[in-house]
Amino acid sequence: QNNETNIAYNNKKRECYGKYAALADHHVEAVRVPFRDKAIPAWFHLPPGYSGGRIPAVIAVPGMDSFKEGQVALYGDRFLNRGVAVLAIDGPGQYEAPLTGLYFSVENWMAAGKPLVDWLAARTEIDPERIGCSGTSFGTFFGTILTAHEPRIRAFTAMSVCHEPGCHTIFQEASPTFKKRFMYMSGITAEDEFDRFRKSMTWEGHADKIRVPFLVVAGECEELSPIEHSERLIKTVKGPKQMVVYQESRHSVGNVPAANLGPFPPILVADWVAERLAGKPFTNEHWFVRSNGQIDKSPL
């Protein structure tokens, strides 16, 4: 609820993170990107030691129960260490955004890409031709919609997937707190109304517009969004693409032998983004990372 307690907690969170920003080993800047009659709250990070020139950037989209402050490591961040700036956002419906009345809808995410890229492109530090997007968990859905409707995004990565059209599994079979949280994110209080609303939550009719490099990283035992929906999505995307599946991993990709002995998932994502924004080619492939670290590769 947008009550005094929740607002006070958010203000203290911003105050705390602002104190970190003042002491960080790199430039951290509070941002509010104008969006319709409201704004998308964000933090803008430049790599440590940045000394000028235009560099690539990634828009970091958190999930349903994560937030912009957690998208960049306090030290040794995977993107910043690769010379990539980060605009970490709370997009429509995410954490701070609903406190200002900016709620989730597919239409809002369709429209969010343009002002975010406009803001980055206007920065003298950023190369407007090298802007990517990275989504985690429900951010894999939000970011897919954003990328489909903003052609200036040059690459997108999705890790820990939420791609089931209608979201039956996560809202009807998983923890009830997920549904309750997303009702708040959507500005809906009646469950029957939300049950109708969630059926409109789909990448179908959007993903076929994507022509840029697209990466999906998922767990074989994904329990919140059956992996076949991500497989359908990757086949629908029209641009270059890659899918990496980790044996025995669940939704939060990692903490299994495949992730420990094979490519470490967050680093794989960061390397992939940096290489795509550098214009390096890659092969359309499906990877299955086995528990011994071996990678089985097949054409995609």
The per-residue pLDDT string of the chain (300 residues; one tens digit each, 9 = 90 and over) reads: 899 999 999 999 999 999 999 999 999 999 999 999 999 999 999 999 999 999 999 999 999 989 999 999 999 999 999 999 999 999 999 999 999 999 999 999 999 999 999 999 999 999 999 999 999 999 999 999 999 999 999 999 999 999 999 999 999 999 999 999 999 999 999 999 999 999 999 999 999 999 999 999 999 999 999 999 999 999 999 999 999 999 999 999 999 999 999 999 999 999 999 999 999 999 999 999 999 999 999 999
Question: What whole-number distance in Å separates Cα of residue 134 and Cα of residue 159?
Answer: 8
Question: What whole-number distance in Å separates Cα of residue 153 and Cα of residue 159?
Answer: 17
Amino acid at 155: A
For the whole prediction, is pTM greater than 0.85?
Answer: yes
Give the H/E segment covering residue 87: strand 85-89
- How many CA atoms does the CB half-sphere of 71 hold within 13 Å? 33
Rounded alpha-carbon distances, angstroms, from residue 166 to 196, 204, 247: 9, 10, 26
Residue 98 pLDDT: 97
Going by DSSP bridges, is the β-strand pair 153-159/214-219 parallel, antiparallel, or unpaired?
Answer: parallel
Residue 154 pLDDT: 99
Question: What whole-number distance in Å separates Cα of residue 168 and Cα of residue 286?
Answer: 26
Find the angle CA(42)-CA(74)-CA(60) to the nearest 5 degrees: 35
DSSP designation for 261? H
Query: In the structure encoding, which two tokens stand for residue 80, read together?
Result: 């910043």
Question: What whole-number distance in Å separates Cα of residue 142 and Cα of residue 136?
Answer: 9
Give the H/E segment covering residue 213: none
Q: Where are the alpha helices (DSSP H) in 24-162?
A: 96-99, 106-121, 139-148
pLDDT in tens, 135-180: 999 999 999 999 999 999 999 999 999 999 999 999 999 999 999 9
Residue 1 pLDDT: 80
Question: What whole-number distance in Å separates Cα of residue 49 and Cα of residue 83?
Answer: 10
Question: What whole-number distance in Å separates Cα of residue 150 and Cα of residue 120?
Answer: 13
Of 263, 248, 276, 239, nearest to 58 by C-alpha is: 276
Strands laid side by side in the 285-289 sheet = 28-35, 38-45, 85-89, 55-61, 126-136, 153-159, 214-219, 241-246, 285-289, 295-299
Q: For domain 26-162+203-299, which architecture applies?
A: 3-Layer(aba) Sandwich (3.40)
- Residue 272's contacts (CB-CB under 8 Å, 6 or more residues apart) are 155, 157, 215, 242, 282
How many other CB atoms sit within 10 Å of the CB of residue 121? Answer: 14
